[in-house]
Amino acid sequence: MNKTSNPRFQFGILTALLVMTAFATWTSWFLSKNDAERLARQLPALRNSARELDIVDVDQYAISRLLADWFGELKWRLFLPDSGSYRVCLATEDIDQSGYPEAEETYELMSGRHNCEFRIKKDSGQYVLEFLVDEKVVLTKIQPTDWNPDRGKSTSGAIGFSQQQPTDQPFQIHRSRFMEPVGEFGAASPQGPSNGVLIWIEKVGNEQK
């Protein structure tokens, strides 16, 4: 006589397999959901670490300073809205704690995204200052050795993580002022306009007077 399988036993195995499959599916979904939530919480910090531009308002300037490869290097990512024409400005004298002197060198910039860099080096008894846009030197300024007393500098309003600002006012990228010599080795912060480096972006038509 042929033996027949127990239908109750078959039903129990099938139920167990279905339960195990459902549990595995739920566990996978739960873990994926937790990973997605964790990554979402970490995303702002990851963006800051990568110094990405966080453009919330496309009608405003946006800038983020990039991490330096070596000491003294200055690099930025820059976004300029489509609503106008712009220029980058450089001043190396008469720099105060705030405000903008007359630009000594300027270069017109197109709207959109740009990678910018500022370099300063001492060569043959003089300082050579260069500003690069998308790896191209667009501004050059030469200053004599005594332009910089070499007693240090004070920096204000430094760009860090991504930030935005309306285009109706100048957008400061970098401001540093050289310390004044005191005695043989001492130095003090300048009490008025001094030599240094000031770089800013302004919309054409909104130039400082």
Per-residue pLDDT of the chain (209 residues; tens, 9 = 90+): 455 555 544 556 767 777 788 778 878 877 776 655 665 554 444 444 445 788 999 999 999 988 766 666 799 999 999 988 999 999 999 999 999 999 999 999 999 999 999 999 888 889 999 999 999 999 999 999 999 998 888 888 667 778 999 999 999 999 999 998 888 788 888 889 999 999 999 999 766 55
What does 9-47 look like in DSSP terms, one character per residue? HHHHHHHHHHHHHHHHHHHHHHHHHHHHHHHHHHHHHHH
SS3 140: strand
DSSP tag of 150:
S
Q: What pLDDT, on the 0 to 100 scale, is given for residue 124? A: 86
**Segments making up each domain of the chain, as ranges:** 1-50, 61-203
Sign of the alpha-carbon torsion through 4, 8, 14, 20 = negative
Site of tokens 């139920």: 15
Q: What pLDDT, on the 0 to 100 scale, is given for residue 169? A: 93
Are 132 and 109 contacting, i.e. CB atoms less than 8 angstroms apart? no
**Structure tokens of 36?**
């997605």
SS (H, E, C) 37-54: HHHHHHHHHHHHHHCCCC
Q: What pLDDT, on the 0 to 100 scale, is given for residue 45? A: 46
- Asked whether the whole model's pTM tops 0.75, one would answer no
Are 144 and 126 contacting, i.e. CB atoms less than 8 angstroms apart? yes
